[in-house]
Amino acid sequence: MAWARVRAWCGAVLVTSPTGLAQPGRADPGAGPGAVVEPAPGPGDGTAQSEGALRDGDVAFVRCAEPDARYFDESRRVIFVNGMGNDPAEHRASALALSALEQCVVVGIFNATSGTTRDLGQCIADAWQFSRPAPGDPAQAFEALCADLAACGDTRSRSEIMRAVLATNPAAGALYDALTNASLAHAPIYAHSQGNLITSNVLRGMEIALGPESIKGRRVYSFGSPCRVWPRGIVRSENSFAFDPVTWMGRPLRLRVSRVVVPTDVPWYWPFAHSLRVYLEHDAEFVVNRRRLGGTSVSVSMDEKGLARDLFEMGRNTPRVDAVLRYLDDEHRGNADDVVRSYVALLRESGVSEPMRSALRGPEGLISRLIRALERGYTSDREDDSIAFLRALSAAP
238 and 152 share one domain: yes
CB 10 within 8 A of CB 145: yes
Give CA–CA dist 80/184, Å, rounded. 12
Task: Name the CA radius of gyration of the chain, rounded.
Answer: 23
pLDDT of residue 137: 84
231 and 191 share one domain: yes
87 and 236 share one domain: yes
Bigger pLDDT: 129 or 350? Answer: 350
Indicate whether 30 pLDDT > 90. no
Q: Which of 225, 249, 281 is where one domain is finished? A: 281
39 and 178 share one domain: yes
| Residue 183 one-letter amino acid | S
Beta strands in 70-198 (DSSP E): 73-81, 104-109, 189-192
Q: Is residue 286 part of a domain?
A: no
317 and 251 share one domain: no
Q: Domain limits at 376?
A: 304-397
Dihedral, CA of residue 112, residue 118, residue 121 and residue 126, to nearest 10? -10
Q: Which of 250, 281, 312 is where one domain is finished? A: 281
30 and 157 share one domain: yes
Indicate whether 397 pLDDT > 90. no
DSSP state for residue 244 in the 8-state scheme: -
330 and 192 share one domain: no
What is the percent of the chain where pLDDT is above 70? 82
Q: Is residue 292 part of a domain?
A: no
| 215-234: pLDDT as tens digits | 999 999 999 999 988 999 99
Q: Is residue 297 part of a domain?
A: no
pLDDT of residue 396: 66
Indicate whether 313 pLDDT > 70. yes
325 and 229 share one domain: no
pLDDT of residue 9: 35
Q: Is residue 289 part of a domain?
A: no
391 and 334 share one domain: yes
213 and 258 share one domain: yes
108 and 230 share one domain: yes
Q: What is the mean pLDDT of residues 336-354?
A: 93
Give CA–CA dist 144/5, Å, rounded. 10
The most confident of 78-82, 112-116, 182-186, 252-256, by mean pLDDT = 78-82
| Residue 274 one-letter amino acid | H
Q: Is residue 148 part of a domain?
A: yes
49 and 103 share one domain: yes
pLDDT of residue 15: 27
Task: Report the mean per-residue pLDDT for the chain.
Answer: 83
Q: What H or E segment, with its residue span, contains residue 390?
A: helix 381-395
Cα angle 117, 122, 126; round to 5: 150
pLDDT of residue 296: 65
Q: Is residue 141 part of a domain?
A: yes
Indicate whether 383 pLDDT > 70. yes
Number of Cα atoms under 13 Å in the Cβ half of residue 67:
27
- Looking at the structure of the chain, the number of domains it has is 2
pLDDT of residue 245: 85
